[in-house]
Amino acid sequence: MKKVILSAVAIMFFGTLLQAQTSTNNSKIDLTGRAADHLMFQIGSDSWTGKPDSVKTSGLSKHFNIYFMMDRPFKKNPHYSLAYGGGIGTSNIMFDDHTKVDVRSAATTLPFTHLDSSANYFAKNKVTTIYFQVPAELRYYSNPQNPSKSWKLAAGLKIGTLLKAYSKSKNYQTATGGSIYGKGYIEKHLSKRFFNATDLSVTGRAGYGLFAIHAAYQVTGVLRDGFGPVMNKVSVGFTISGL
């Protein structure tokens, strides 16, 4: 993931040099019909790197992000722009059905308890974190006059502050799989104590028109220092954006 982002940055700066050496007259590029602001939607999968064997996640973890972005093209080279904004980033990490994550525990580290096969358990378990985030990107457009018909690259950072964190479990069952309170039964526990209050991530995107593939690596750990194993979040998914 880091290589993807570094490659995007390298391509963008190589493009700058290439543009400087071509005969293209950037002053003739007309951006009067190009929007200066837009919404950006992202959906995809999440995973925690560096997790120990006791942290048994499943393969269904996902994220959904929505940002309002402002786009500011460079006057000397409109193929490039600086974009910044704000919005909400959510992450839902799914766990093995016999793994209990007690976010309200009084312990000094977040407990990830794997239940014995003879114990009652929840059929579905997840931990959700919701951050208010401020993203900033350096962007490249092959066709800056018409972004909907342009190849695009972007690399940047986003910083966020934790708004909410909780565990959510559904359908409490007996060891043999019988539902105890009905399949719609849900337990939800809120606590931010174990989770990092600040999310600093490096980001990258590549695509054409409205659609792109994005990736992000959370530099700050998922959990606060000393409150559990050192893990970082990796995100990969699809972006829909007007710019």
Asked whether the beta carbons of 236 and 214 are under 8 A apart, the reply is yes
Q: What is the 3-state secondary structure (H, E, C) of the chain?
A: CHHHHHHHHHHHHHHHHHHHHCCCCHHHCCCCCCCCEEEEEEEEEEEEECCCCCCCECCCCEEEEEEEEEEEECCCCCCEEEEEEEEEEEEEEEECCCEEECCCCCCCCCCEEECCCCCCEEEEEEEEEEEEEEEEEEEEECCCCCHHHCEEEEEEEEEEEEEEEEEEEEEEECCCCCECCCCCCEEEEECCCCECCEEEEEEEEEEECCEEEEEEEECCCCECCCCCCCCEEEEEEEEEECC
Asked whether the beta carbons of 198 and 159 are under 8 A apart, the reply is yes
Instruction: Tell me the per-residue pLDDT of 38-61, one tens digit each, with 9 for 90 and over.
Output: 999 999 999 999 999 989 998 789
- The ranges assigned to domains in the chain are 2-241
pLDDT attached to residue 213: 98
Reported as a pLDDT band with limits 50, 70 and 90, residue 36 is confident
Give mean pLDDT, residues 224-237.
Answer: 97
Question: Phi, psi at residue 153, to the nearest 5°?
Answer: -135, 145
Is 24's pLDDT higher than 60? no
Reported as a pLDDT band with limits 50, 70 and 90, residue 13 is very low
Asked whether the beta carbons of 167 and 125 are under 8 A apart, the reply is yes
Instruction: Tell me the per-residue pLDDT of 77-118, one tens digit each, with 9 for 90 and over.
Output: 999 999 999 999 999 999 999 999 999 999 999 999 999 999
pLDDT attached to residue 26: 61
The first and second tokens of residue 129, run together, are 């974190």
Is 232's pLDDT higher than 50? yes
pTM of the entire structure?
0.87
Instruction: Tell me the per-residue pLDDT of 138-181, one tens digit each, with 9 for 90 and over.
Output: 999 999 999 999 999 999 999 999 999 999 999 999 999 999 99
Query: Across all residues in the chain, what is the average pLDDT?
Result: 90
